[in-house]
Amino acid sequence: MPYFKIETSQKIKDADADKLSKDASSFLSGLLGKPEHVIMVSVCQGMRILFNQTTAPAAYVVIKSIGLPAEKCPGYAEAVCDFLEDAIGVPADRIYIDFADINGSMFGWNRQTF
Protein backbone atom coordinates (compact mmCIF):
# COMPACT_ATOMS: atom_id res chain seq x y z
CA MET A 1 0.00 0.00 0.00
CA PRO A 2 2.80 2.47 -0.53
CA TYR A 3 1.63 6.01 -1.23
CA PHE A 4 3.84 8.52 -3.05
CA LYS A 5 2.59 12.11 -3.06
CA ILE A 6 4.53 14.71 -5.01
CA GLU A 7 3.64 18.36 -4.46
CA THR A 8 5.70 20.75 -6.55
CA SER A 9 5.79 24.35 -7.63
CA GLN A 10 6.85 23.19 -11.09
CA LYS A 11 4.15 23.45 -13.75
CA ILE A 12 3.79 20.14 -15.55
CA LYS A 13 1.68 19.52 -18.65
CA ASP A 14 -0.99 16.82 -18.26
CA ALA A 15 0.82 14.33 -20.49
CA ASP A 16 4.07 14.91 -18.60
CA ALA A 17 2.25 14.57 -15.25
CA ASP A 18 0.84 11.22 -16.41
CA LYS A 19 4.36 10.08 -17.34
CA LEU A 20 5.71 11.35 -14.02
CA SER A 21 3.02 9.38 -12.16
CA LYS A 22 3.88 6.18 -14.03
CA ASP A 23 7.61 6.71 -13.61
CA ALA A 24 7.15 7.47 -9.90
CA SER A 25 5.13 4.27 -9.43
CA SER A 26 7.83 2.19 -11.08
CA PHE A 27 10.56 4.02 -9.15
CA LEU A 28 8.88 3.50 -5.76
CA SER A 29 8.19 -0.15 -6.53
CA GLY A 30 11.89 -0.73 -7.17
CA LEU A 31 13.00 1.37 -4.21
CA LEU A 32 10.77 -0.35 -1.65
CA GLY A 33 10.64 -3.79 -3.26
CA LYS A 34 6.82 -3.70 -3.32
CA PRO A 35 4.68 -4.77 -6.28
CA GLU A 36 3.66 -1.87 -8.47
CA HIS A 37 -0.01 -2.84 -8.49
CA VAL A 38 -0.33 -1.79 -4.81
CA ILE A 39 1.35 1.62 -5.21
CA MET A 40 -0.66 4.85 -5.35
CA VAL A 41 0.88 8.04 -6.73
CA SER A 42 -0.54 11.55 -6.73
CA VAL A 43 1.03 14.56 -8.40
CA CYS A 44 0.02 18.06 -7.35
CA GLN A 45 1.78 20.53 -9.62
CA GLY A 46 1.93 24.28 -10.02
CA MET A 47 1.53 24.83 -6.28
CA ARG A 48 2.72 28.00 -4.59
CA ILE A 49 5.62 26.95 -2.42
CA LEU A 50 7.86 29.36 -0.56
CA PHE A 51 11.00 27.68 0.76
CA ASN A 52 14.07 29.44 2.13
CA GLN A 53 12.40 32.77 1.38
CA THR A 54 12.18 32.11 -2.36
CA THR A 55 9.67 30.67 -4.82
CA ALA A 56 12.34 28.88 -6.88
CA PRO A 57 11.33 25.32 -7.91
CA ALA A 58 10.60 23.21 -4.83
CA ALA A 59 8.83 20.01 -3.84
CA TYR A 60 7.25 18.43 -0.80
CA VAL A 61 7.02 14.65 -0.97
CA VAL A 62 5.15 12.17 1.20
CA ILE A 63 6.04 8.48 1.16
CA LYS A 64 3.89 6.23 3.33
CA SER A 65 4.08 2.47 3.54
CA ILE A 66 3.36 -0.36 5.92
CA GLY A 67 6.68 -1.55 7.30
CA LEU A 68 8.78 1.37 6.06
CA PRO A 69 12.17 0.78 7.71
CA ALA A 70 13.53 3.96 9.32
CA GLU A 71 17.13 2.81 8.91
CA LYS A 72 16.71 2.80 5.10
CA CYS A 73 15.18 6.29 4.88
CA PRO A 74 18.54 8.11 4.43
CA GLY A 75 19.21 6.04 1.30
CA TYR A 76 15.62 6.48 0.18
CA ALA A 77 15.97 10.26 0.59
CA GLU A 78 18.98 10.33 -1.70
CA ALA A 79 17.22 8.21 -4.32
CA VAL A 80 14.00 10.27 -4.18
CA CYS A 81 15.93 13.54 -4.57
CA ASP A 82 17.84 12.12 -7.54
CA PHE A 83 14.58 10.91 -9.10
CA LEU A 84 12.82 14.28 -8.70
CA GLU A 85 15.83 16.28 -9.83
CA ASP A 86 15.94 14.24 -13.05
CA ALA A 87 12.16 14.05 -13.54
CA ILE A 88 11.05 17.62 -12.80
CA GLY A 89 14.20 19.65 -12.29
CA VAL A 90 13.83 20.40 -8.59
CA PRO A 91 17.24 20.48 -6.87
CA ALA A 92 17.78 18.22 -3.87
CA ASP A 93 18.23 21.16 -1.50
CA ARG A 94 14.69 22.32 -2.35
CA ILE A 95 12.92 19.04 -1.55
CA TYR A 96 11.41 17.99 1.77
CA ILE A 97 10.43 14.34 2.18
CA ASP A 98 7.97 13.11 4.79
CA PHE A 99 8.46 9.38 5.41
CA ALA A 100 5.80 7.52 7.37
CA ASP A 101 5.66 3.90 8.51
CA ILE A 102 1.95 3.09 8.59
CA ASN A 103 0.34 0.66 11.02
CA GLY A 104 -1.69 -1.67 8.79
CA SER A 105 -4.61 -1.71 11.20
CA MET A 106 -4.87 2.08 10.76
CA PHE A 107 -4.96 2.03 6.96
CA GLY A 108 -7.96 0.90 4.96
CA TRP A 109 -8.59 -0.41 1.47
CA ASN A 110 -11.38 -2.38 -0.17
CA ARG A 111 -13.74 -2.18 2.87
CA GLN A 112 -11.11 -3.46 5.30
CA THR A 113 -7.83 -2.57 6.94
CA PHE A 114 -4.47 -4.16 6.36
- The closest of 95, 33, 25 to 66, measured between CA atoms, is 33
Confidence band for 111, pLDDT divided at 50, 70 and 90: very high
Q: Which fold has domain 3-113?
A: Macrophage Migration Inhibitory Factor (3.30.429)
- Enumerate helices (H) and strands (E) in the chain, giving the number of each: 2, 6
- The closest of 89, 16, 25 to 63, measured between CA atoms, is 25
pTM of this prediction?
Answer: 0.94
- Per-residue model confidence as pLDDT tens digits over 10-58: 999 989 999 999 999 999 999 999 999 999 999 999 999 999 999 999 9
For the annotated catalytic residues, the residue numbers are 2
